[in-house]
């Protein structure tokens, strides 16, 4: 392969120059595995990028997308519609908790986050509370890469080059740091960190805050599981001050925590919920925001009849091929009981992940459901050891997600215990040899 033929694609979140020197191209996938361009089988320990919950190349989804494209490849969704999107909305409304019954579609998690920001602004404006210009996020949060999500981001490297973000964002402290390490599931301590939100209300006035965004489990920065009672306390403070609570379920959604959504696992209902990734099992780009009845009513009620309620939308909102993929993915999740399967597999998975704690190079392990992370002691520049580990694991036939020196493991929900064993064993051997 002539590697310079690869030089034109500026790859996202990639060390492009290092990649060109040593490309890792994936050319085929099926079930739990990818195949590399040099013919090796790679076990997928990350569901692609938290997307392929039902495993790879599911023919039911492929066929549904192909049928849809043959019949009708595109519909303008401004003032027109297609039956798929209504069916999908109804299915999602049944799946989401309580009265999160209105679905707005977009094409990614980042767009879902920016859509949720705008819905929060429109909601307060519709109710005559346009003074709520402030948003609350959290240190170590990841909410995608559009300007709204970048503003909410709690990761320095994702912000430092982009000064022109939304100015009125304040960050809660992260729930990890200073607390016991190697905690399996929800930490017992730390609910009081939610009181940072009350402090912001005391400092700025709760009536100036529009919404508080959190991932139920902060995924991309290393599986930061919420302390017991933490999300409940955020909910209470939001309710006291009329602040919308937004759960970014882009990673947690669709069974990762052993229930449909993190909201279900942790027993807290947000006002808005973002989703993407496993919504289509990764087979088509798609994101969505689920909106509670009262939020929808406030926005719709403000607009005169026969007028547009929300001046927002994307050319590819509810694309027929994406809705077909999502409907087929939901069928598989339901038919194969994959959310329940994730719950059943979680103890064996977490046993394997927490066994890594014995290795001297591992400084922390965290996990919940089929989602776990381990931190490596840094060596030299932060992230260098993680990157080396990514390469070695790839050579040994395992793909996981890396954020700096933190490895994140999130296998497809179809995994067998033998796959979990294999992931654990490759990790153990590789980390032991670092």
Ligand X SMILES: Cc1ncc(COP(=O)(O)O)c(C=O)c1O
Judged by the rule CB under 6 A, the positions of this chain that interact with ligand X are 108-110, 113, 142-144, 215, 219-220, 248, 250-251, 276
Task: Give the Cα separation of 20 and 7 in Å (integer).
Answer: 7
- Angle, helices 338-355 vs 417-432, to 10°: value is 30
Q: Which is nearer to ligand X, 109 or 154 (CB)?
A: 109
Residue with smallest beta-carbon separation from ligand X: 109
The CB-of-30 to ligand X minimum distance in angstroms stands at 23
The beta strand positions in 130-173, using DSSP E, are 134-138, 169-172
Q: Which is nearer to ligand X, 230 or 426 (CB)?
A: 230
The CB-of-184 to ligand X minimum distance in angstroms stands at 22
Q: Which is nearer to ligand X, 111 or 375 (CB)?
A: 111
Helix (H/G/I), strand (E/B), else coil: 390: helix
CB 113 within 8 A of CB 146: yes
User: In which residue are the tokens 């402290």 written?
Assistant: 173
Q: Which is nearer to ligand X, 108 or 265 (CB)?
A: 108
Q: Which is nearer to ligand X, 262 or 424 (CB)?
A: 262
The CB-of-216 to ligand X minimum distance in angstroms stands at 9
Antiparallel, parallel or unpaired: β 287-292 and 272-275:
antiparallel
CB 126 within 8 A of CB 298: yes
Query: Which residues make beta-bridge pairs with 421?
Result: none
The CB-of-249 to ligand X minimum distance in angstroms stands at 8
- Angle, helices 320-335 vs 83-95, to 10°: value is 40
- Angle, helices 320-335 vs 59-71, to 10°: value is 150
Task: Give the Cα separation of 285 and 27 in Å (integer).
Answer: 19
The CB-of-285 to ligand X minimum distance in angstroms stands at 7
Residue 343 host element (H or E): helix 338-355
The CB-of-260 to ligand X minimum distance in angstroms stands at 16
Q: Which is nearer to ligand X, 138 or 241 (CB)?
A: 138
- Phi (first) and psi of residue 43, to 5 degrees: -75, 130
The CB-of-168 to ligand X minimum distance in angstroms stands at 20
Q: Which is nearer to ligand X, 13 or 86 (CB)?
A: 13
């Amino acid at each position: 392969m002539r590697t310079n033929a690869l030089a034109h694609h500026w790859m996202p979140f990639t060390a492009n120059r290092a990649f060109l020197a040593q490309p890792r191209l994936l050319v085929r996938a099926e079930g739990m595995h990818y195949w590399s361009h040099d013919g090796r089988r790679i076990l997928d320990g990350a569901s692609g990028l938290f997307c392929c919950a039902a495993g790879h190349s599911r023919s039911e989804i492929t066929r549904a997308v192909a049928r849809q494209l043959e019949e009708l490849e595109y519909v303008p969704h401004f003032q027109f519609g297609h039956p798929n999107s209504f069916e999908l909305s109804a299915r999602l409304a049944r799946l989401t908790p309580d009265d999160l019954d209105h679905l707005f579609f977009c094409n990614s998690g980042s767009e879902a986050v920016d859509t949720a920001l705008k819905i929060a602004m429109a909601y307060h404006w519709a109710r005559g509370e346009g003074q709520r210009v402030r948003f609350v996020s959290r240190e170590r949060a990841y909410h995608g890469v559009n300007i709204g999500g970048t503003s909410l981001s709690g990761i320095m490297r994702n912000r430092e080059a982009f000064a022109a973000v939304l100015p009125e964002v304040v960050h809660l402290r992260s729930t990890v740091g200073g607390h016991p390490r190697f905690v399996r599931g929800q930490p017992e301590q730390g609910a009081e960190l939610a009181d940072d939100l009350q402090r912001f209300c005391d400092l700025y006035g709760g009536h100036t805050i529009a919404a508080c965004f959190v991932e139920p489990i902060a995924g991309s920065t290393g599986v930061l599981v919420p302390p017991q009672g933490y999300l409940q306390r955020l909910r209470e403070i939001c309710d006291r001050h009329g602040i919308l609570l937004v759960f970014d379920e882009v990673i947690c959604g669709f069974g990762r925590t052993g229930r449909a959504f993190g909201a279900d696992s942790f027993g807290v209902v947000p006002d808005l919920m973002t989703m993407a990734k496993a919504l289509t099992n990764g087979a088509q780009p798609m994101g969505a925001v689920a909106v509670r009845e009262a939020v929808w009513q406030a926005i719709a009620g403000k607009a005169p009849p026969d007028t547009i309620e929300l001046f927002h939308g994307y050319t590819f909102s509810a694309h027929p091929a994406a809705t077909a993929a999502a409907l087929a993915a939901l069928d598989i999740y339901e038919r194969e009981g994959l959310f329940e399967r994730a719950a059943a597999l979680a103890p064996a998975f977490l046993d394997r992940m927490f066994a890594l704690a014995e290795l001297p190079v591992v400084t922390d392990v965290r996990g919940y459901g089929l989602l776990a992370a381990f931190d490596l002691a840094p060596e030299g520049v932060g992230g260098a050891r993680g990157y080396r580990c990514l390469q070695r694991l790839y050579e040994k036939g395992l793909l996981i997600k890396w954020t700096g020196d933190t490895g994140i493991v999130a296998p497809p929900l179809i995994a067998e215990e033998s796959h979990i064993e294999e992931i654990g064993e490759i990790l153990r051997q590789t980390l032991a040899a670092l």
